[in-house]
Amino acid sequence: MTTALRRLRNYIDGEFRDAADGRTTEVVNPATGEPYATAPLSGAADVDAAMAAAEAAFPAWRDLIPAERQKVLLKVADRFEERAEELIAAESENCGKPIALVRSEEIPPMVDQIRFFAGAARMLEGRSAGEYMDGFTSIIRREPVGVCAQVAPWNYPMMMAVWKFAPALAAGNTVVIKPSDTTPASTVLIADIIGSVLDELGHSRGVFNVICGDRETGRLMVEHKVPAMASITGSVRAGMQVAESASKDLKRVHLELGGKAPVVVFEDTDIAKAVEDISVAGYFNAGQDCTAATRVLVHESIHDEFVAALAKAASETKTGAVDDEDVLYGPLNNANQLKQVKGFIERLPAHAKIEAGGEQVGEKGYFFAPTVVSGLKQDDEIVQHEVFGPVITVQSFSDEKQAVQWANGVEYALASSVWTKDHARAMRMSKSLDFGCVWINTHIPLVAEMPHGGFKKSGYGKDLSSYGFDDYTRIKHVMTSLDG
Enzyme catalytic residues? 256, 290
CA distance 445 to 458: 19
DSSP letter assigned to residue 207: G
CA torsion through residues 99, 102, 108, 114, sign: negative
Q: 458 and 259 in contact (C-beta within 8 Å)?
A: yes
Bridge partners of 413, per DSSP, are 455
Q: 179 and 212 in contact (C-beta within 8 Å)?
A: yes
CA distance 70 to 67: 5
DSSP letter assigned to residue 284: G
CA distance 222 to 185: 22
Which of these, 172, 242, 180, 135, lies nearest to 30 by C-alpha position? Answer: 180
The number of residues in the chain equals: 484
DSSP secondary structure string for all residues of 376-417: --TTSHHHHS---SSEEEEEEESSHHHHHHHHH-SSEESEEE
**Backbone dihedral region of 468: left (phi > 0), alpha (psi from -120 to 50 degrees) or beta?**
alpha
CA distance 339 to 346: 10
- Strands (E) located in 239-315: 252-256, 262-265, 295-299
CA dihedral 324, 328, 330, 331 (to 10 degrees): -140
Q: 263 and 443 in contact (C-beta within 8 Å)?
A: yes
For 173, phi then psi, to 5°, come to: -90, 165
DSSP letter assigned to residue 319: B
DSSP letter assigned to residue 3: P
- State which amino acid sits at residue 415: A
3-state secondary structure of 420: coil
